[in-house]
Homo-oligomer: A and B are copies of this chain.
Amino acid sequence: MNIVEKFARLGTDHAPGQEGLQKDEELPIIGEKIEGCMVDFSHGDVNAHTPIPGSLETFVKEYAVEGTYQAYTEYRGKGTIRRYLAEKLAAYSGAPVDPDTEIILTPGTQGALFLAMGSLVGSGDKVAIVEPDYFDNRKLVEFFEGEIVPVQMRWKDAARHTSGIDLQQLEDAFQSGVKLFLYSNPNNPTGAVYSPEEVAAIGRLAKKYHVAILADELYSRQIFDKDQTYTHLRALEEKPDTLITIMGPSKTESLSGFRLGVGYGTPEIITRMEKLQAVVSLRCSGYCQSAFLNWFSEPEGWMEKRVAEHKRIRDDLLAVINKCPGCWARPTEGGSYLFLQLPPLKVDIFQFVKFCRVQANVTVTPGTEFGKQYSDFVRMNFSQDHDKAVSAVGRICEMVERYRA
């Protein structure tokens, strides 16, 4: 594959936040504009849900106190911050983390994902990925010239508190020579959380077939129901030999503007990730690293309140969705996404998404970003102002009526 073909496959025009780059076409628009405040469901609104209190203040204080010494940290991140986070993440995930060998600070969780993929996927390697799952998983396998082996997640039919991952298909994939399996838990875009049994099965199979695991736990602090269990693979007896967990404070905690993430796990892979970081961007911004110190040290009750606010938005959006015939979404168990299935429409999903933006002032992400077969879905990040979001999802339903087949 030459470089032109490689980039032709690495499309971003439909990716969240990139909608402004799409070219205008003549469209068979039906009806007038529907008035309402602009809502961009492609990512969270960090003005509606602001960063952890004190984050800017920590940034300024560390900049002032430490002077500019922290401009140049080790490529894997500043030692004091790695030690702080190793302790917090060990307590959080239920298994120890060595701050010297088992953790790397990265520019956002995306940075951790990229470095881990670059460290684990060689040309021609088979990589199992869940469908549906985060769209960049697929793009990264392609970029590193691996071979995608899809594994279905039957979230639509699965019992509550299970993801519905097809474990037989997973074992078949592993048996066929897969080198790496990556999955997000809670799942992006469906909001399904894997059951303890599912996570244990993933670990057991990975151990049996010597498959490396990349666990994306970005949204794992935002779990809605009291009876929901969240399972960290790294704390289980079934923990595989090669395991990297990635996470960061960009979502629930709204620190996305600082670009902070972590990868933690198998020392050999962390070392590779650091080697790669050394040529990619050297390090996570030295000044921004200080804002990590607010993560896992939020004011008392702050996280609970944030999660409760999101639960309320989820419930109120679902109430609107459930009134629209043919519209359906599984109630999000973790994270800020609703993966909304639409009834048959007169237009394709890209046109519908465009019309929503142009006519109804609402931006959503087409389901095809998460797997070609999801051409009747859109993803919505409901980390938004409550009232604006409720109104916007009402406008989406109005658009569904207009364009219903």
Contact = CB atoms under 8 A, between A and B. Distances in A.
B281 A17 contact: no
A162 interface: no
Contact of A74 (B7, B18, B56, B125): B18
B50 A280 contact: no
Contacts of A120: 3
Interface stretch (A199-207, A230-238, A282-290, A336-344): A282-290
A67 interface: yes
Interface in A241-298: 254, 256-259, 272, 274-276, 278-288
A279 B7 CA distance: 12
Contact of A3 (B17, B69, B122): B122
Contacts of A72: 17, 43, 46, 256-257
Contacts of A108: 281-282
B20 A280 contact: no
Contact of A143 (B70, B75, B279, B282): B279
A259 B283 contact: yes
Contacts of A122: 1-3, 6
Interface stretch (A8-16, A24-32, A347-355, A395-403): A8-16
A111 interface: yes
A375 to B, nearest CB: 22
A139 B257 contact: no
Contacts of A2: 122
Residue of A7, A125, A288 most packed against chain B (CB within 10 A): A7
A240 interface: no
Interface residues of A, number: 68
A60 interface: yes
Interface string A41-60: 00100110011000010011
A107 interface: yes
A174 B251 CA distance: 48
Contacts of A10: 272, 275-276, 278-279
Contact of A47 (B68, B74, B287): B68
A3 B143 contact: no
Residue of A43, A256, A281 most packed against chain B (CB within 10 A): A281
Given A114-B280, A278-B12, A257 B67 contact: no
B114 A74 contact: no
Given A74-B20, A121-B3, A123-B123, A281 B110 contact: yes
The 10 closest A-B pairs by CB, nearest first: A71-B257, A3-B122, A46-B68, A257-B286, A259-B285, A107-B281, A257-B287, A111-B281, A10-B275, A12-B278
26 contacts: A3-B119, A3-B120, A3-B121, A3-B272, A7-B276, A10-B272, A12-B274, A12-B275, A18-B278, A21-B74, A46-B71, A47-B67, A47-B68, A56-B60, A56-B64, A68-B257, A72-B257, A107-B107, A107-B259, A110-B282, A123-B123, A257-B286, A258-B288, A259-B285, A259-B286, A280-B280
Interface of A: 1-3, 6-7, 10-12, 15, 17-18, 20-21, 43, 46-47, 50-51, 56, 59-60, 63-64, 67-72, 74-75, 106-108, 110-111, 114, 119-123, 125, 136, 139-140, 143, 145, 254, 256-259, 272, 274-276, 278-288
